[in-house]
A and B are shown apart, each in its own frame.
Chain A
Amino acid sequence: DIVMTQTPLSSPVTLGQPASISCRSSQSLAHSDGNTYLSWLHQRPGQPPRVLIYKISHRFSGVPDRFSGSGAGTDFTLIISRVEAEDVGVYYCTQASQLPYTFGQGTKLEIK
């Protein structure tokens, strides 16, 4: 199985400041079809996860442009350019390049 490792596990951030979360996979996520199926999810307490970013850097419909994704191979990053109060919660990276699909441990974003 591909192991997804996120850092940090907890991130206290000041409102209006940027936040960055890293995700490293134990194997390259480059798929034979030329795509890299790395997504970022956001989960608020008591809510299901929702997709923010797919295929490394594509923003899902309705996701604010303060969210951006980058990376390649085994190293990926989610950046929130200016954190807002509604951004609190847990962020997960997930891969669908190889079965079984796997998730990172989650990064808890909190407001200082």
Chain B
Amino acid sequence: QVQLQESGSGLVKPSETLSLICTVSDDSSSSYYWNWIRQPPGKGLEWIGYIHNSGSTNYNPSLKSRVTMSLDRSKKQFSLKLSSVTAADTAVYYCARLVYAVAIDIWGQGTMVTVSS
């Protein structure tokens, strides 16, 4: 079964850029959308956006001005950059796969990112 694994810096200073990578263990069918979702400590889930295998993206309007997603097919990786972070961006960040016309079906284990000086 396909597995997703997040990696990146666990501590980011305020006003700097958060950078995460998600590595996909196998399979990169064109019908998949690669998502980032976050969960502040003790709180609910927030969808950040997705990137399709074609490279097209869609971001949550609430974060759109600060988010950039990219894809490296050769490395089977997709990435998230969130600029100008504040303490409100402290959260567990998950990468997840969405199958077209089905659902988000596979989640990574998540990585905790803390914004602090």
Q: Which positions in A face B, CB cutoff 8 Å?
A: 1, 33, 35, 37, 39, 48-51, 54-55, 60, 92, 94, 96, 99-106
Contacts and interface: CB of A to CB of B under 8 A. Distances in A.
Given A33-B101, A48-B94, A100 B61 contact: yes
Given A37-B103, A100-B61, 12 more contacts: A35-B101, A39-B103, A49-B45, A51-B103, A55-B102, A92-B44, A92-B45, A100-B47, A101-B47, A102-B47, A103-B44, A103-B47
Contact of B44 (A39, A54, A96, A106): A106
A48 B103 contact: no
Interface of B: 35, 44-47, 49, 58, 60-62, 94, 98, 101-105, 107-110
Contact of A103 (B46, B58, B108): B46
Contacts, number: 50
B93 to A, nearest CB: 11
Contacts of B101: 33, 35
